[in-house]
Amino acid sequence: MPDGATHENSSPVLGITENAVDRLKAMIDGEGNPALKFRITVSGGGCSGFQYGFDFDETINDDDLTFERDGVTVVVDEVSMQFLGGAQLDFKKELIGSFFALENPNASSTCGCGTSFSI
């Protein structure tokens, strides 16, 4: 997997693109809190069955997996990670706007907005 972050055991599980790192660094700098981590969650719902959630968090819980690239930490809980193995976090700039997106090989289909998926 290109542009992959490594988990603490050095096996690539979640990729993070350079675009995502650059945007996350800018957002964290803007918040003035270098302790912030980017949290990705998967929950039931959305138009395709599951939906992604993105948020900032200072806390790393006991059941969290952490992925780092170039000084940025992404946090995913174990339950969400079962849906995200091999996925890649990207930040896209398109005519409709700028947004974080997950390219998820586990998703059999995604909705038009890109925030929900089915397996």
CATH assignment at residue 63: 2.60.300.12
| pLDDT tens digits, one per residue of 41-90 | 988 876 657 788 999 999 999 999 999 999 999 999 999 998 898 999 99
Pairwise CA distance, residues 1 & 6, whole Å: 11
Q: How many domains does the chain have?
A: 1
In a domain, 114, yes or no: no
In a domain, 116, yes or no: no
- Give the residue from 73, 69, 18 showing the smallest Cα distance to 40: 73
In a domain, 115, yes or no: no
In a domain, 117, yes or no: no
Give residue 6's pLDDT.
Answer: 44
In a domain, 34, yes or no: yes
What is the average pLDDT score of the chain? 82
**Domain encompassing residue 62:** 4-107
Give residue 108's pLDDT.
Answer: 62
In a domain, 16, yes or no: yes
* Size (the chain), residues: 119
Q: Starting from the edge strand earliest in sequence, which strands make up the sheet with 88-94, in order?
A: 97-103, 88-94, 12-16, 4-7, 64-69, 72-77, 37-44, 50-57, 116-118, 109-110
In a domain, 76, yes or no: yes
Write down the H helix ranges in the chain.
18-31, 78-84
- Give the residue from 84, 98, 110 showing the smallest Cα distance to 15: 84
